């Protein structure tokens, strides 16, 4: 059988059929077609990496966002010179650079371990590498891991777990949420580990409730499986879950965190777990080519993100419902989840993506207002989606100002 035969249909992202209840921990959202719980995992969705209109280039979007007076989503873009200048303002720059993982790299690892309440942490140049190392460490019995069809390793890592490590994936659920305890118990096959993405980005940055999460973790343990958290965005998940980062991390055998998602570092990731896991992670990091001679620029940016962005997350989480409410007032629009679980959420409008991207650029270039980053088409004709990230620049906006800017935006369509 070739790899493409009998492959499940790739997940289809579509807006919720009705507004999600703020009290619901698993709101309606992007749908995943029914598929067998085992077999070949899906390829990444066929959607384009950028807008269909060739005039909407990355360079033009960068210039428009950088030159705008106000931005609603994401941070203001910076040039390489500006990024380096920020690093030069940091502390500890007069010490020797790292050498194959010592010095400042080890200091970052210790800090992450402390933040997550784990015995040890290991720095990785990429999250993709970190995820593969974690999964192969736990999948030594059957070579099978349980994860969601919308999870990052399925859609955005080139199925490296299968191609590089020879692992097999099964899907306990195709619902746009993490699997329940009952769904784990219903899986017929044995599996060595389960990967839980917190939050599940492709479903709308959705999180379970604390009780749902602990029940799923307990069910995995009853099945004899290790628990790995894909916590690329774990930093902002603590409020919705109602527990501290160490309490959340304590549920898992290993945790992956990102330094560029949310924290704004150049790149990089870390795996946290016990000392035995960390030793294995270091060994496989070397084998995968991740033991670099020097990584101090990336590590400095990660430390800066921990210092600068982590303390501000509460203000972003406070402001996200206001932004969501203001955007939802636009006729024909849909915010998902209706009450964001973190400072990020999906926003849907009934227009083609190329028109929305052109209008967004014009608004930024002509009026100095940058509302969105990039609109992407959905499988449903005329319907498009963008992701909203509420961070520093968004805090300057009132609800009335957002509604007024949306009126201006729609006038350009």
273 touches 128 (CB < 8 A): no
Rounded Cα distance, 99 and 91, in Å: 19
pLDDT in tens, 352-392: 999 999 999 999 999 999 999 999 998 778 899 999 999 99
Rounded Cα distance, 69 and 64, in Å: 10
Structure token digits, residue 351: 């227009």
Structure token digits, residue 43: 């390829």
Q: For residue 30, what pLDDT is reported? A: 39
Rounded Cα distance, 4 and 1, in Å: 8
Rg over CA atoms, the chain:
21
Q: Of 128, 104, 76, whose CA–CA distance to 298 is shortest?
A: 104
Rounded Cα distance, 11 and 76, in Å: 31
Rounded Cα distance, 213 and 9, in Å: 27
The domain defined by 58-80+311-411 folds into 3.90.1150
On the question of a common fold for 58-80+311-411 and 98-293, the answer reads no
Q: For residue 149, what pLDDT is reported? A: 98
Q: For residue 404, what pLDDT is reported? A: 99
Q: Which stretches in the chain have pLDDT values below 70? A: 1-55
Rounded Cα distance, 97 and 294, in Å: 7
Q: For residue 55, what pLDDT is reported? A: 64
Q: For residue 90, what pLDDT is reported? A: 84
Question: Which residues, in sequence order, are CB contacts of 260 under 8 Å at separation 6+?
Answer: 266, 267, 268, 301, 305
Domain layout of the chain by residue ranges: 58-80+311-411, 98-293
Q: For residue 33, what pLDDT is reported? A: 32
Q: Of 39, 21, 56, 27, whose CA–CA distance to 376 is shortest?
A: 56
Rounded Cα distance, 138 and 396, in Å: 45
Rounded Cα distance, 33 and 13, in Å: 10
Q: For residue 381, what pLDDT is reported? A: 80
Q: Where are the alpha helices (DSSP H) in 170-253?
A: 181-186, 210-222, 238-241, 245-249
- Which class is domain 98-293? alpha beta
């Amino acid at each position: 059988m070739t790899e493409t035969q009998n492959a499940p249909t790739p997940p289809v992202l579509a807006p919720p059929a009705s507004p999600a209840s703020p009290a619901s921990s698993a709101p309606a959202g992007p749908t995943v077609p029914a598929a067998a719980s085992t077999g070949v995992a899906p390829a990444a969705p066929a959607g384009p990496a950028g807008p269909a209109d060739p005039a909407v280039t990355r360079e033009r979007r960068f210039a428009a966002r950088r030159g705008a007076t106000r931005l609603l989503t994401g941070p203001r873009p910076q040039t390489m010179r500006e990024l380096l200048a920020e690093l030069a303002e940091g502390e500890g720059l007069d010490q020797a650079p790292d050498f194959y993982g010592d010095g400042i790299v080890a200091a970052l690892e210790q800090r992450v371990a402390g933040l997550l309440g784990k015995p040890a942490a290991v720095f990785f140049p990429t999250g993709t590498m970190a995820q593969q190392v974690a999964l192969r460490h736990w999948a030594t019995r059957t070579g099978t891991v349980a994860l969601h069809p919308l999870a990052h390793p399925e859609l955005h890592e080139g199925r490296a777990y299968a191609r590089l490590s020879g692992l097999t994936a099964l899907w306990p659920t195709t619902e746009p949420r993490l699997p329940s305890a009952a769904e784990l118990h219903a899986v017929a096959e044995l599996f060595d580990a389960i990967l839980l993405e917190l939050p599940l980005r492709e479903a709308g940055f959705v999180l379970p409730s604390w009780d749902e999460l602990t029940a799923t973790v307990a069910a995995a343990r009853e099945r004899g499986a290790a628990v790995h958290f894909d916590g690329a965005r774990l930093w902002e998940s603590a409020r919705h879950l109602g527990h501290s980062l160490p309490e959340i991390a304590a549920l898992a055998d290993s945790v992956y965190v990102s330094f560029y998602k949310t924290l704004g570092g150049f790149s990089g990731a870390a795996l946290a777990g016990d000392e035995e896991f960390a030793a294995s992670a270091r060994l496989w990091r070397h084998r995968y080519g991740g033991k670099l001679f020097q990584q101090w620029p990336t590590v400095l940016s990660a430390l800066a993100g921990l210092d600068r962005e982590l303390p501000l997350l509460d203000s972003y989480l406070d402001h996200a419902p206001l932004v969501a409410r203001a955007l939802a007032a636009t006729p024909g629009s849909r915010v998902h989840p209706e009450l964001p679980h973190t400072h990020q959420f999906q926003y849907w409008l009934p227009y083609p993506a190329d028109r929305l991207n052109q209008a967004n650029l014009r608004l930024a270039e002509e009026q100095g207002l940058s509302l969105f980053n990039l609109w992407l088409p959905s499988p449903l004709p005329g319907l498009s989606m963008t992701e909203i990230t509420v961070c520093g620049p968004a805090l300057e906006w009132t609800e009335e100002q957002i509604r007024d800017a949306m009126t201006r935006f729609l006038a350009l369509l």
